[in-house]
Structure 1
Amino acid sequence: MFDEQTYPNTTTLTPDQKVEHYQSALTPTPTDRDFLLALPEPRPFSVFLQETRYYLERYPLALIGEVGLDKQFRIPEAWLPGQSIERDDGLTQGGREGRNLSPYRVSMDHQKKVLLAQLHLAGELGRATSVHGVQAHGVVFNTLQETWKGHERKVPSKRERRKQEAANPTTTEDKDQVASEERKPTPYPPRICLHSYSGPPETIKQYLDPRIPAKIFFSFSSVINFSHAGVAKTEDAVKAVPDDRILIESDLHTAGERMDGYLEEVVRKLCEIKGWELEHGVKQLAANWKNFVFDNE
């Protein structure tokens, strides 16, 4: 995708513009013109956002994501003659599918530009968002922080809270009604899930700052979080997440028995770490999911 501010009044780049675009979007800067010309034709970023908006409006319960930042991903080499014909059209384009990887990564500046636009769209339409960070936990936090900068909540002192409660003795239902009526488009998503969270436990404290106006959730999967040597760090992270902000996922691309098995596996693991009885854990995780998706407290 290319930014129309760089290439205005066009939907298709010339070969020279295509080379220039990829040289600015990839790192280290590629010098192989044939490699760059073999990459997919860039399309206007506004077109992608229009398509995303269309789907979100068509499906009112749809989320945005997963989206995010990735310092590890490398661009696959171009398809060899015959490979593109033989590939499975049912698979999402852009996958490796047996190809060698080039030495080039997508620059953080380009990734952040894309992510920020997606986050702003989520805030405008009031949609929950699933965000990942691969070797980029600090950059992800800083990018999310950009979206709510200037919109932080004021945290009243205990004395101020007592005075407010005495002056305005409202019920929970009254508060929910007021919150619903006052909800307006924002530059930040109202609810954010940090997908298969693999960051350090210390970073969780940053996301739990009461001044942050978005609800932050943390999801865990057995595939990503409990299948490597850093399990102890993951367990510490799970313990640091408040009970009402933890989610589960399979991190699998297909539904079915295998996915169900992964979900059961991670439910049992989280119950073990949290010290929950299984039934309590299942009910808590279900309530958390409804809160994330539907904003149900």
Structure 2
Amino acid sequence: MASAATPASVLPRLTDAATRPPAIVLRHLTDAHCHPTETPFSAESMEQLDITVCAMSTHQNDQSLVRDLALRYPTKIVPCFGYHPWFTHRISLTAAPSKDEHYRDLLIGRGIEPSAETASAFEELLPRLPEPITLAQVLSDVRHNLGEFPTAMLGEVGLDKPVRVAFDHTEWPPKLSPFTIPLDHQLEILEAQIDLAVELGRNISLHSVKCPQVTVDLLARMQLKHGEKFQDIRVDVHSCSLNPQVWAILQKRHSNVFISLSTTINGRSNNLRALIAAVAPNRLLIESDYYDIALCTEQCVEILNLVASVKGWTIEEEWSEEAPPEADWGAVRRLEANWNLFKHGK
């Protein structure tokens, strides 16, 4: 997830216009993960959008924004509803205690006497935090939104081991508190959301940062718990930070797990080319993980070019509705086939 306040200078260079496929080709691309509701956008930018985008929600305040965007542009937006791990500290697993008690128990620890420095940071942070909501409320909200859109996905949900709670998430760069969100707390909220997705037969956009073994164990546990119903949905590990060896394990064990890559996030890693090379040709998706809808296409074109280079695929300069033999497919047709395989599940 790229922050809405991320300055352009820290993001990868956009692809030159000369390398941009024509609109008739781009129309067959899907951005598997982006955050277009994080910044204001114009009707003109939506009308000029050549690709389909999967618009993620992350916390209580943006679920309705994604819903409204999908209602306005149903042919261009795949809505995704869920609660991101960065905001799981705002969620109480049981009937919400007082605000102070909830955050104190979660971030400091029940019965733990904090140091003077920790206590000072907590007193600065607490007034900036919202009243906690319950996991039951979260699940009710997600269920309602998924029910409203039959093709909607669960997302963005996941795990983030090192994330620290920001004093103000809207600032850039954000001032971070010393508090992390316990992984057990994140896991319980994530598993409940996955259970709901399995029940409703919805695909998932999954965030996983710095917890490879926990992610491997989670997917194995979901497979064991839900069996064939878990196999019937698809899981996209988005902007995957897993190393190629861990990805190879997941790819072998789970035929329903895909990977989507971006230059926005994965471009910071030295193993991006190796990861692309390790992904089976039919499990690979692309994404922008971008917050500005006017630039999502360009970010997708950039990762498209890199994927094509690593995989040795050509990029189409024209499009025929009658598909050539699979051996002659270009990168866009291959990625479109992958998206359709992901989208339709079993």
Deviation of the 1:35 alpha carbon? 3.9
Residue 250 (1) aligns with residue 293 (2): no
1:273 aligns with 2:310: yes
Corresponding residue number in structure 2 for 1:19 = 104
AA aligned opposite 1:113:
E
1:200 alignment counterpart: 243
Equivalent residue for 2:138, pick from 48, 59, 63: 48
Residue 51 of structure 1 and its aligned partner are, at CA, apart by 0.2
Q: CA deviation at 1:98?
A: 5.0
User: 1:151 Cα deviation (Å)?
Assistant: 5.5
Unmatched segments (≥5 aa) in structure 2: 1-90, 317-329
The CA deviation at 1:202 is 0.7
Unaligned runs of 5+ in 1: 80-93, 153-182
2:265 matched residue in structure 1? 224
- SS of the aligned residue for 2:289 comes to coil
- 1:237 equivalent to 2:275? Answer yes
The alignment of Structure 1 onto Structure 2 pairs a total of residues equal to 237
Q: Secondary structure at the match of 1:208?
A: helix
Name the structure 2 match of 1:160: none
Q: In the alignment, what sits opposite 1:164?
A: none
2:72 equivalent in structure 1: none
User: 1:34 matched to which residue of 2?
Assistant: 123
How high is the TM-score relative to the length of structure 2? Answer: 0.62
The code of the aligned residue for 2:293 comes to: A
Please report how far the alpha carbon of residue 21 of structure 1 lies from its aligned counterpart in structure 2 after TM superposition.
Answer: 4.3
Q: Which of 117, 127, 146 is the matching residue for 2:202? A: 127
The higher relative CO (CA closer than 8 Å, separation ≥ 6) is in 2
Q: Give the Å deviation of 1:294.
A: 2.3
1:97/1:281 CA distance change after superposition, 3 Å:
same
**Offset from partner CA, 1:107-166 (integer Å, 9 cap, x none):** 1111111111111111111111011111122212212221112566xxxxxxxxxxxxxx
| Structure 2 Cα separation of the partners of residues 16 and 246 of structure 1 | 44
1:118 aligned partner = 193
Q: In structure 2, which of residues 176, 179, 186 is the aligned counterpart of residue 101 of structure 1? A: 176
Query: What SS class does the counterpart of residue 158 from structure 2 fall into?
Result: strand
Partner secondary structure for residue 119 of structure 1: helix
Contact 1:193 1:217 in 2 (8 A): yes
Matches within 5 A, 1:144-223: 144-149=219-224, 186=229, 190-210=233-253, 212=254, 215-223=256-264
Confirm or deny that 1:2 pairs with 2:92: yes
2:259 counterpart letter in structure 1:
F
CA separation of 1:18 and 1:198: change in aligned 2, threshold 3 A: closer
Distance 1:64 1:16 in 2: 30
Q: State the alpha-carbon separation in 2 of the partners of residues 292 and 196 from structure 1.
A: 16
Distance between the aligned counterparts of 1:64 and 1:241, measured in 2? 23
Task: Supply the AA of the counterpart residue of 1:63.
Answer: M
Contact 1:196 1:220 (8 Å CA) reproduced: yes
Paired letter, 1:243: P
Give TM-score scaled by structure 1 length. Answer: 0.72
d(CA) in 1 for partners of 2:230 and 2:337? 26
Q: What is the aligned-residue RMSD (CA, Å)?
A: 2.6
Shift of 1:220: 0.8
Note if contact 2:244-2:275 (Cα within 8 Å) is conserved in structure 1.
yes
Aligned to 2:152: 62
The answer on whether the counterparts of 1:67 and 1:132 sit within 8 Å (CA) in structure 2 is yes
CA contact (8 A) 1:22 1:36 kept: no
Select the residue among 290, 293, 296 that pairs with 2:343: 293
Q: How far apart, in 1, do the equivalents of 2:217 and 2:257 lie?
A: 14
CA contact (8 A) 1:18 1:36 kept: no
Question: Residue 57 and residue 24 in structure 1: after superposition, are their counterparts in 2 closer, same or farther (change >3 A)?
Answer: farther
Contact 1:119-1:187 at 8 Å conserved across structures: no
The answer (yes or no) to whether the contact 1:119–1:188 under 8 Å persists in 2 is: no
Matches of 1:3 and 1:245, distance apart in 2:
34
1-side partners of 2:241 and 2:293: how far apart?
23
Structure ID, larger Rg: 1
> Is residue 122–residue 189 contact of structure 1 (8 Å, CA) maintained in 2?
no
- For residues 60-84 of structure 1, give each alpha carbon's deviation from its aligned partner in whole angstroms, at most 9, with x where no partner exists: 111111211112221122x6xxxxx
The Cα of 1:31 is off from its aligned counterpart by 3.8
